[in-house]
Structure 1
Amino acid sequence: MKKIHLLLIKAFVRPFIATFFVVMFILLMFFLFKWIDDLIGKGFEWYTILELMYYASAANVSMALPLSVLLSSIMTFGTLGENYELVAIKSAGISLQKAMRPLLMVILMLTVASFLFSNYMLPKANLKFGSLLYDVRNKKLSFLIKPGVFNNAIPGYAIRVDAKDNDGMLHGIMIYDHKDNNGIPKVILAKEGKMEKTADGKFLVLKLKDGVQYEEQAKSSGMYNPRQIFSRRRFKETAPQFDMSSFDPDKTDPNAFGNSTQMLNLKGIVKKRDSLTKQLDTLKRNTIASLTNNFKQFNVVKGYTKIKVAPKVIDDVILKDIPNGMRKQSLESATNVVAGIMQHVPNWAPRQTDLTGEIIFTTVEYQRKFTLAASCILLFFIGAPLGAIIRKGGMGLPVVIAISFFLIYHIITTVAEKSAREGNLNPVFAMWIAVIFLSPLAAFLTYKATVDSALFDVNYYKQFFVKLFKKRAK
């Protein structure tokens, strides 16, 4: 390897690593802002939040990696142009294309790594993230009793306390039990109590003292009963138990989310898409067969006679061609057929829409694993020529230009993907439309950088307009 190649690789790798971790940090902050209400103040351990952020960072690679490639390539060639190192490279007989070759090899390695990451590691990370986030959002890890606030962490119960001591003693306890009695809550009031776990940790025992329990008997029918039974029971001590299985962070099986498309690799996506296609074909075949049976013509004598009969022309008003004695029966029969069809159509149509949407989504996710790799190559061929043209390094102008081009790429991809999911655009074309749209721009910028074009030189345009106005003045 030539020294010039090693110089270019070092100049690229350093800003790439820095920008990649900076972008990942920013995206993680966005993640925290989004889920801060479900994470902060819920009594979660710090390592649980870190584990959730670790799995979320894997999903952010799809945005951080292309943006880092674009930004670092602009900064690398912009710094080389600003320090006249790019001029020295060209004066040594090395063209811009030859100077880009070692970095292109690095980008190709990143491309292969990004594809392997999106196909093997990202589905597993999404699987872990989905299961853990489900537990967090449903408050299954632990709960924190706050005075003056109803807590619904225990399924079927709402607990409120007026005060809480440092030793765990609760005062002014109110419990609404919604589990039984057909939705009519059972109310328990107690002056004080204390929470304890059983030895096996499966149940939470709330030892209550000096309280009263109110319970209304459920109605046996929907009619009003003036003699509705209402019971009240006072107690000195009682100890209701609550099931703690819902608080186990390991309760939710990650494999329960394993059929989600985002948590499958290419092989799993193809298998799921084939299964969905078979289900859709079966649904269409059964629908057609069911509808065809309602409109079947019973040609009993067809094929058993050589007598030719002219087809009977049916008038627009079909009832005119039906004998008077059969009209009522025909109307009733037609009404029953239409009622049967209308009874099944509301079930067929939504199911067909759901299956079609899932098939489109599997195609989108299948192509996404390739577009992530292709975006690295595309944005490199945009960023490297741009850096050579603008000849500015650092975190100023390169950052603005990089974010602008990345937003264009991201907006095109997002809008096209949304259109594909709605069925307005072919999903394969939708996922590649940004690459197709920006590839001519990358080729144009590479050509302009090769011929040393002053595409972003303000003085060049100033002189151009000055000369243009002088010609017009003459």
Structure 2
Amino acid sequence: MKKLHKLIVISYLRPFVATFFIVSFILLMLFLFKYIDELVGKGLEWYTILQLLGYNFAVNVPLALPLAILLASIMTFGNLGEQYELVAIKASGISLSRAMVPLVFVMVLLSIAAFYFSNIIMPHSFLKMGALLYDVRQKKAAFSIPEGVFYNDLDGYSIRAEKKDADGKTLYGLMIYDHTQGNGNMNVVLAKKGEMYKSDDDRYLVLNLYEGVRYSENPGENGYNDRQRQVRIRFKEYGLKFDLSGFNLSRTKEELFKDHYQMLNVRQLLVKEDSIQNLIATKQQNLNAYVEPTFLIFRPHANYKKIIPEKDLKWKNKDVLMNFPAVDRLQVVDDAINSMRNVKSYLTSAKDESTAQFEILRKHMVEFHRKFTLSFACIVLFFIGAPMGAIVRKGGLGLPVVISILFFLVFHVLSIGGEKFARQGKLEPYQGMWVATLVLVPIGIFLTYKAASDSALFDIEKYQRFFIKLFSKKQNQ
């Protein structure tokens, strides 16, 4: 039995590792295609891009791991069935369920590892990737002045060079507009040649200009003539310094992102949910305290005396307003309208704020259940893939890939749909996050039962014989 268990585990781990990294690589390529415009042309270091890909690799585990488990299960037992090794195992008195026992222990270990990954590693990876991706997006494109085109990425300056050397550091025929004073194109610098270099800390760009002139137009003393004075200064050598802080990758503090729901573990999510629920309860109490003084119906426990107008107040007119003096009627109506407007405005604001708070609460609860659904999905998909492979008895990358993709699409579509409905409040968070797994549980039980009883569920010849027999009976009738 030990040799058999070792054989089955090794037969499973090989396709599992291969498919896991293949699926992870495909997801990495999708990530690159999505953010290619954010990464190209910014002069990022190779280790920065590698770091971003490493964080994304960890984030993609919830998609790669279930598919790898499902595909590896079908391939492993499909290969055993195709090579008649399952027949030999059953002939030796070992049932399929007993043969699956070592892989069940492997699945339990993978589920525990998946929960640890979802609870500890994934929040950390989301935090690192979110902060780094934000910094990459904020970084400007790599500094490079093209020929014959105005370059406007330097804050406050617009630069055009007619020609530049191959080294990119020597420029000819320079025209520079200085917009730092915010008064338009009032300051212009022309130069025949310029040489540029960066400071030692790469924070500044120094541009030395040679053989040029600087034009500056200033408004008059009264301020009504914008072109009253012009200053022209010729120079043999003139220096400009530009701030390059926007072209460097500056790292934002990760503390600014750590409160996001995707970057919290189970304990932090529970604390955050309690805080949000307490905040919602406090807002509701404040709302009641504001509304109750305005409407008597919100004070059901107050002891109000029933008033009969004819006897107690001796009102002559059933219209309450007409019983007030004429000079006070307008004031009474204005007070009532203003009171209703204030209440309506407060209720509208409170409703919008409450909707936003409940939406945030649902997101935290969805993320809380996600930590557990990944672990349970690994076990459920194994009990779908293993009996499916034993039934179809086909190994390799043909039919197992097709079957695994179909089941994974069902699982993924149900997961995405349930999560969307949970975020929108159409389903409870636990219902939306567990619907995909709970739908697949009966399928796994059914397939396991059929595989254990040697059912020819996917035997095409059996169905062909059935339909041939059925049509032959109809023809004889």
When the two structures are superposed, what TM-score results if normalisation uses the length of structure 1? 0.87
The structure that has the greater radius of gyration is 2
Task: For 2:449, give the aligned amino acid.
Answer: Y
1:467 aligns with 2:469: yes
Q: 2:419 aligns with which of 417, 420, 432?
A: 417
Q: 1:272 to 1:471 in 2, by over 3 A?
A: same
**In 2, Cα distance between equivalents of 1:284 and 1:215:** 62
Deviation of 1:35 (Å): 0.9
Deviation of 1:324 (Å): 3.1
Name the residue aligned to 1:453: 455
Write the mapping of 1:7-406 to structure 2, written as runs, cut at 5 A.
7-139=7-139, 142-147=142-147, 154=154, 161-167=161-167, 168-171=169-172, 181=182, 188=188, 190-191=190-191, 192-208=193-209, 210=212, 212=214, 227-228=225-226, 234-235=232-233, 236=235, 238-295=238-295, 309-310=307-308, 319-320=321-322, 322-345=324-347, 347-406=349-408
**In 1, Cα distance between equivalents of 2:184 and 2:292:** 49
Deviation of 1:163 (Å): 4.3
Deviation of 1:228 (Å): 4.9
379-388 or 197-206, larger mean C-alpha shift: 197-206
Question: Do the aligned residues in 2 keep the contact of 1:152 with 1:159 (CA within 8 Å)?
Answer: yes
194-203 or 418-427, larger mean C-alpha shift: 194-203
> Equivalent residue of 2:34, what SS?
helix
Q: 1:249 to 1:282 in 2, by over 3 A?
A: same
Task: For 1:6, give the aligned amino acid.
Answer: K
Could you report, residue by residue, the CA deviation over 1:374-423 in whole angstroms, capped at 9, with x for unpaired residues? Answer: 11111101101110111110011111111111011001110111111111
> Equivalent residue of 2:395, what SS?
coil
Deviation of 1:165 (Å): 2.6
Deviation of 1:264 (Å): 1.2
Q: 1:241 to 1:399 in 2, by over 3 A?
A: same
336-345 or 391-400, larger mean C-alpha shift: 336-345
> Equivalent residue of 1:251, what SS?
coil
226-235 or 371-380, larger mean C-alpha shift: 226-235
Name the residue aligned to 1:436: 438
Name the residue aligned to 1:222: none
Question: Do the aligned residues in 1 keep the contact of 2:139 with 2:249 (CA within 8 Å)?
Answer: no
Question: Do the aligned residues in 2 keep the contact of 1:79 with 1:392 (CA within 8 Å)?
Answer: yes
RMSD: 3.3
Task: For 1:452, give the aligned amino acid.
Answer: D
Deviation of 1:277 (Å): 1.9
Deviation of 1:319 (Å): 4.2
**In 1, Cα distance between equivalents of 2:331 and 2:165:** 79
Deviation of 1:293 (Å): 3.5
Could you report, residue by residue, the CA deviation over 1:409-445 in whole angstroms, capped at 9, with x for unpaired residues? Answer: 0011101111111111111110000011111111111
Question: Do the aligned residues in 1 keep the contact of 2:177 with 2:189 (CA within 8 Å)?
Answer: no
Deviation of 1:227 (Å): 4.5
**In 2, Cα distance between equivalents of 1:229 and 1:87:** 98
Task: For 2:5, give the aligned amino acid.
Answer: H
Deviation of 1:446 (Å): 0.8
**In 2, Cα distance between equivalents of 1:470 and 1:273:** 66
Task: For 1:35, give the aligned amino acid.
Answer: Y
**In 2, Cα distance between equivalents of 1:177 and 1:342:** 53
Task: For 2:197, give the aligned amino acid.
Answer: E
Question: Do the aligned residues in 1 keep the contact of 2:112 with 2:375 (CA within 8 Å)?
Answer: yes
331-340 or 414-423, larger mean C-alpha shift: 331-340
Deviation of 1:160 (Å): 5.6
Question: Do the aligned residues in 2 keep the contact of 1:203 with 1:241 (CA within 8 Å)?
Answer: yes
Q: 1:216 to 1:119 in 2, by over 3 A?
A: farther
Could you report, residue by residue, the CA deviation over 1:337-386 in whole angstroms, capped at 9, with x for unpaired residues? Answer: 23433544554333222211111000011111111111111110110111
Deviation of 1:212 (Å): 4.7
Question: Do the aligned residues in 2 keep the contact of 1:42 with 1:144 (CA within 8 Å)?
Answer: no
Return 5+ residue gaps in structure 2 as ranges: none
Deviation of 1:29 (Å): 0.7
1:5 aligns with 2:5: yes
**In 2, Cα distance between equivalents of 1:109 and 1:292:** 57
> Equivalent residue of 1:394, what SS?
coil
Question: Do the aligned residues in 1 keep the contact of 2:206 with 2:242 (CA within 8 Å)?
Answer: yes
Question: Do the aligned residues in 1 keep the contact of 2:179 with 2:187 (CA within 8 Å)?
Answer: no
Could you report, residue by residue, the CA deviation over 1:71-91 in whole angstroms, capped at 9, with x for unpaired residues? Answer: 000000000111011111111
Task: For 1:431, give the aligned amino acid.
Answer: M
**In 1, Cα distance between equivalents of 2:231 and 2:252:** 38
**In 2, Cα distance between equivalents of 1:422 and 1:215:** 59
Could you report, residue by residue, the CA deviation over 1:276-299 in whole angstroms, capped at 9, with x for unpaired residues? Answer: 222222222223322334436999
**In 1, Cα distance between equivalents of 2:198 and 2:354:** 49
Could you report, residue by residue, the CA deviation over 1:78-113 in whole angstroms, capped at 9, with x for unpaired residues? Answer: 001110111111111111111111011111111101
> Equivalent residue of 1:41, what SS?
coil
284-293 or 351-360, larger mean C-alpha shift: 284-293
**In 2, Cα distance between equivalents of 1:298 and 1:389:** 66
Question: Do the aligned residues in 2 keep the contact of 1:172 with 1:189 (CA within 8 Å)?
Answer: no
Question: Do the aligned residues in 2 keep the contact of 1:135 with 1:141 (CA within 8 Å)?
Answer: no
Deviation of 1:174 (Å): 6.0
**In 2, Cα distance between equivalents of 1:404 and 1:177:** 61
**In 2, Cα distance between equivalents of 1:213 and 1:321:** 81
> Equivalent residue of 2:42, what SS?
coil
Task: For 1:383, give the aligned amino acid.
Answer: G
Question: Do the aligned residues in 1 keep the contact of 2:292 with 2:298 (CA within 8 Å)?
Answer: no
Could you report, residue by residue, the CA deviation over 1:98-134 in whole angstroms, capped at 9, with x for unpaired residues? Answer: 1111011111111101110111111111111111111
Q: 1:473 to 1:122 in 2, by over 3 A?
A: same
Q: 1:170 to 1:456 in 2, by over 3 A?
A: farther
Task: For 1:274, give the aligned amino acid.
Answer: D
Task: For 1:310, give the aligned amino acid.
Answer: I
